[in-house]
Amino acid sequence: MNHGVDVIGSREDPHASIRAARGLPLMLHSLSVLREQFEIVFAHRKIKKVVEVGVESGQVSSIYTELGADEVYCVDPFPSDELRAALAEHPRLHLVERASPEVLAELPVADLYVIDGDHNYAVVNAEVSWITANAPNAVVVFNDLLWPCARRDMYYQPSPLPESDRHESSDQGPTVFHDELTPAGLVGLGAFTWAVEAGGERNGVLTAVEDAVEAAGADDWYLEVVPAVFGFGILMRKTAPGADKIMAGLRPYTHSKLIATLEANRIALYSRVLQMQYEAVAHADDADRLAESINAQRYEIDRLRAELDRVTHEADELRRENDRLRDPVSAMPVPDLTSAARNLKRAAGHWVKQARQG
Ligand SMILES: C[S@@+](CC[C@H](N)C(=O)[O-])C[C@H]1O[C@@H](n2cnc3c(N)ncnc32)[C@H](O)[C@@H]1O
């Protein structure tokens, strides 16, 4: 077998293979997962300068230097503090805090461009058009050439694009369960929005690449996709150094129906998780609303009970007052006849005693 304990596990450590998975995010989306494919590119092509467009956490950037690149220009207009700190540790990784495509002309021409920044037609079409015109022998790698970005624009926020370059967009996200956007889909949570409609012209990352390649003369270019991690695309001019070998090396991945099926299944499962999370939050909100309503009703019941006690007490008072007014005699204090009788008896006894003595 080709694989080691980290894939198969062993009798002594049956969980070895899955332990690494515990540390991975629920939905893999980073190109860092595709190290094996980058190794094929670097094996057949001398790559010294890399322009990485869209860096996010920076977890891919150091792979390029590990594989032999001298300089990596890490372009991201919205770098986090973690990214700044991570890149600062590597002298060969240069943070370029600017937006592509404008910045491309200001950077050295690279051997490898990794395009994973703003995921929409206007930006990606301009990026590929610039590269095919100015660095035609470069290897160009993309992320997100498949669903959901292939035929639907995504716009990082705030979007610098003029309205004429944007489709109507929404905070809701795509799902595998139907064609429309939904709040239970892959939503951007303020970081990005999605075009409301998918398909048609000038919409989506793959459409942008296809149009740019068409304009550069489609027959002169290879464009292939590894159907994993949302679509790892590779574009090379057929006459560029290493092009045939790289395409041949990637062929087991670019032509694998198995990988495509697993990817579609992975995305379907993740969509299901997102939907369940959305439903769980909606149910929790319902439960909160119900608890609030029960509390308000309890408070009202207590208030009504107190009011009832007060009114009952008042009614008792009135009833007693009424009784007193109706029967003034019975309302008079009752004389103490017992002690009067006792006094009379004592006086009589005294008189009798006196009469006997006299
Ligand atoms: C999907 S993430 C990149 C992930 C990274 N390539 C990886 O595989 O780990 C997209 C990144 O593109 C950045 N971005 C958005 N618009 C951009 C632009 N016009 N130029 C360059 N980067 C951009 C975002 O800030 C975000 O960090």
> Of 100, 86, 119, 102, whose CA–CA distance to 52 is shortest?
100
**Whole-number CA gyration radius for the chain:** 42
Q: Under a CB-based contact definition with an 8 Å cutoff, are residues 129 and 211 in contact? A: no
Handedness of CA 241, 116, 194, 183 (dihedral sign): positive
Q: Under a CB-based contact definition with an 8 Å cutoff, are residues 10 and 16 in contact? A: yes
Q: What whole-number distance in Å separates Cα of residue 252 and Cα of residue 187?
A: 33
112-115 β-sheet, strand order: 93-96, 71-75, 49-53, 112-115, 139-142, 232-237, 221-226
What are the pocket residues of ligand 1 if the criterion is a CB atom closer than 6 Å to any ligand atom? Answer: 30-32, 53-57, 59-60, 75-78, 99-100, 116-118, 123, 143, 156
Q: One digit per residue, pLDDT tens: the chain, 358 residues?
A: 888 888 888 899 999 888 888 888 999 999 999 999 999 999 999 999 999 999 999 999 999 999 999 999 999 999 999 999 999 999 999 999 999 999 999 999 999 999 999 999 999 999 999 999 999 999 999 999 999 999 999 999 999 999 999 999 999 999 999 999 999 999 999 999 999 999 999 999 999 999 999 999 999 999 999 999 999 999 999 999 999 999 999 999 999 999 999 999 999 999 999 999 999 999 999 999 999 999 999 999 999 999 999 999 999 999 999 988 988 666 566 667 788 778 888 887 888 788 788 6
**What per-residue confidence (pLDDT) applies to 333?**
67
Tokens of 261: 């099926």
Provide the β-strand partners of residue 53.
75, 115
**What per-residue confidence (pLDDT) applies to 358?**
66
Residue to mutate, 156, 189, 194, 229, ligand 1, most ligand atoms under 8 Å from C-beta: 156
Atom of ligand 1 nearest to the CA of 75: 21
Which residue's alpha carbon is at the smallest distance from atom 23 of ligand 1? 117
**What per-residue confidence (pLDDT) applies to 123?**
98
Tokens of 16: 């070895």
Q: What whole-number distance in Å separates Cα of residue 138 and Cα of residue 127?
A: 13
Q: CB-based contacts of 174: which residues, under 8 Å, 6+ apart?
A: 147, 148, 152, 181, 182, 185, 186, 194, 198
**What separation in Å is there between the alpha carbon of 247 and the centre of ligand 1?**
26
**What per-residue confidence (pLDDT) applies to 330?**
63
**What separation in Å is there between the alpha carbon of 55 and the centre of ligand 1?**
5
**Whole-structure pTM value:** 0.84
DSSP per position, 291-314: HHHHHHHHHHHHHHHHHHHHHHHH
Structure letter (DSSP) for residue 73: E
Q: Under a CB-based contact definition with an 8 Å cutoff, are residues 93 and 72 in contact? A: yes
Q: What is the dihedral of CA 33, 125, 120, 271, to 10 degrees?
A: -40
Provide the β-strand partners of residue 193.
155
**What per-residue confidence (pLDDT) applies to 9?**
87
> Of 3, 8, 9, whose CA–CA distance to 36 is shortest?
3
